[in-house]
Chains A and B, each alone.
Chain A
């Protein structure tokens, strides 16, 4: 069972901004879906911004989340609790870890608000004109990077991922993630993302 590390007061204040889910979770461990969702959103951010991995670590420092996310390797391990990854850590995220990742995701998304809105508006226009995504360079670049990262990291043999073998399906997922990242950029982004993590499909 993962051990809860003691956190600094400011970090604790930050994490308390996100309420614990009801009914209380056994062993303070999150459902597997939470790790899957958070990993996908971070993957979307990496696909949007080439400098995202460095930005993740500096944002962790700025937000004083380092007692919970203790460096690059630990962040990678936390993301590997996603059960659909090839290298799965075989444990569940604790509530503190999930909260920290939520806050990190929303902070990173907020940095990219303009780009996210731009790409979504472009996607709407292309769809209105019945054109494919390739007609917008930045959007197709995002989708391609998303597909590459996804295929490199996720286990294609999992039943849940069988529908994502074609490029088109992955492009659809990339746009879904982009839409979700838009909601992360809002004033109540962390609260909305956090509240949405605990209901939905069961992995």
Chain B
């Protein structure tokens, strides 16, 4: 027995014909389980669009998918190889295109194009929705409606272009700057170690002149490693940057702290015994002493040129003839205070 199911809407009527397979109790509405023919009546045509199950599936799927994309505002052109497709037109219109191959009686040579208003489209969609909701007609067929989340692109993807542009600019700038020659490094002349003192000490320059930084090979024990620049006899320590006076080179091995302390105290004793005069203002001297503590050389380092004849009390103590091993600073202050300290500080 052929069954017929009709879904009638103002702008669309869907008529399904088919058979019921299996037995049903007579008081129940029989289930149309096998479709033989579907007719789709649209207001634009007097004759229905007629086809079989493939036509039903193609038309329903195309219409449903199109309605969803249109509702969410993401309507895009469908692929051209589908037998039934819909496209959006301006002014809330929609074009339904059906390939004749999917119809039972393809009388036309080319695809069939039908323009629908939104209300007509809705009626077509609603007819299929009613069919889908009817569990006694084609219970194995339905129109899936699943919410698929369309997540935005992660932020890092949007930042890729600016980031890569920045990095490439940085790389280019680095290469460009690498071509600029860097300034030549020149060691100050006086940083080079002077030859060892083997005879009379070289006359020193006036202390008032701005003294260059001398790498007085201070006999400090801070240099435990061998010095970087090999110099013949005196082991030259790397230049301590604190010295400011020109001085004769000391030919010696670095002294220990104990040795320095003992020399300093010897100098102190000598100057203390010899200093009798009153000084008008503080006087500073750089004194070279030998290994016995005898004063070998005296240089005035007081900036003021109006000072008395240099080293008045100290000149008497000078004894030439031996080699200096240590530079000490002697300060004669007003009020009779005497200060003696190693010129380059105590070794560690």
Contacts and interface: CB of A to CB of B under 8 A. Distances in A.
Interface of A: 18-23, 25, 31, 117, 120-121, 124, 127, 175, 179-180, 182-183, 186-188, 191-202
Interface residues of B, number: 28
The 7 A-B pairs with the shortest beta carbon distances in the complex, nearest first, are A196-B71, A21-B147, A199-B150, A196-B72, A188-B129, A200-B72, A202-B152
Interface of B: 10, 67-68, 71-74, 91-92, 117-119, 122, 125-126, 129-130, 132-133, 143, 145-152
17 contacts: A21-B147, A23-B149, A117-B10, A120-B118, A179-B92, A182-B122, A186-B125, A187-B126, A187-B133, A188-B129, A188-B143, A192-B71, A194-B147, A198-B150, A199-B149, A199-B150, A202-B152
B148 A22 contact: yes
B119 A182 contact: yes
A19 B147 contact: yes
Given A21-B147, A25-B149, A198-B150, A121 B72 contact: no
Contacts of A192: 67-68, 71, 125, 129, 145
B145 A195 contact: yes
A197 B118 contact: no
Given A21-B146, A124-B119, A186-B125, 6 more contacts: A21-B149, A23-B149, A188-B145, A192-B145, A195-B145, A196-B72
Contacts of B143: 188
Contacts of A22: 146-149
A109 B122 CA distance: 14
A198 B148 contact: yes
B278 to A, nearest CB: 86
A180 B147 CA distance: 17
Contacts of A202: 152
Contacts of B150: 198-200
Given A195-B145, A198-B149, A186 B129 contact: yes
Nearest to B118: A179
B139 to A, nearest CB: 16
